[in-house]
Amino acid sequence: MAKNQVPPPLTTAGPEDASTGKSRLKLILTIVVAMLLAVGLSIGGTLYFMSKGEGLDGGKADDAAATTPSGKQPAIYEVLMPAFVVNFSHNGRQRYMQVSIALMSRDQAALNALKVHMPLLRNRLVMLFSGQDFEVLKTPVGKEMLRQQATASVQELAQKEIGTLAVEQVLFTNFVLQ
């Protein structure tokens, strides 16, 4: 025979259940406060040590810049964007070269004057790059020779257009042959 089983009567929450709910809430709040404190301390420590690194020389960098020889100004770099991409033929095969260039100067006014002639400067460099031999460019000496030719071409253009050597060096910041 099957007997009817009656479930035990439902009880209302007593004082023990309320205390476990409060203790869980306290635990969660403690964890949240500890996490916020840890994040705040890590941010504060990072800012402290980063600002401490800036002041380690005690302002000697500014003094050193002021006491450099009067004939030598600090270098200024002008990156020519976008990178130069040229194609040329080698033994009947199409080859490509991508070159990123930065101009090094010590005279900001002359560099700004040269920016007016940027289309002419880019044209000269594209013509120079596209006339190169692939076998020569594969060697470090060939790349250095091309850099020196580019420097001479840019200096010649600057002398002709603005009357001064605005660019000290042409630097290759990226050089890819394919």
How far apart are the C-alpha atoms of 23 and 37, rounded to whole Å?
A: 21
Burial class (CB in 10 A: 0-12, 13-18, 19+), 142: middle
Maximum Cα interatomic distance, the chain, rounded to a whole number of Å: 116
Six-digit token string for 117? 């002639």
Mean pLDDT of each 10-residue bin along the chain, 178 residues long: 61 60 87 86 81 57 50 86 88 89 92 91 92 88 93 92 90 91
Tokens of 129: 């790059």
CB distance 129 to 142 below 8 Å: no
Residue 124's pLDDT is 93
* Both tokens assigned to 151: 């420097």
The CA-based angle 146-151-155, given to 5 degrees, is: 150
pLDDT of residue 11: 56
| Per-residue model confidence (pLDDT) at position 23 | 85
Task: Please state, in angstroms and rounded to a whole number, the distance separating the CA atoms of residues 3 and 160.
Answer: 113
pTM confidence score? 0.58
Confidence (pLDDT) at 67:
46
Give pLDDT, residue 2.
57
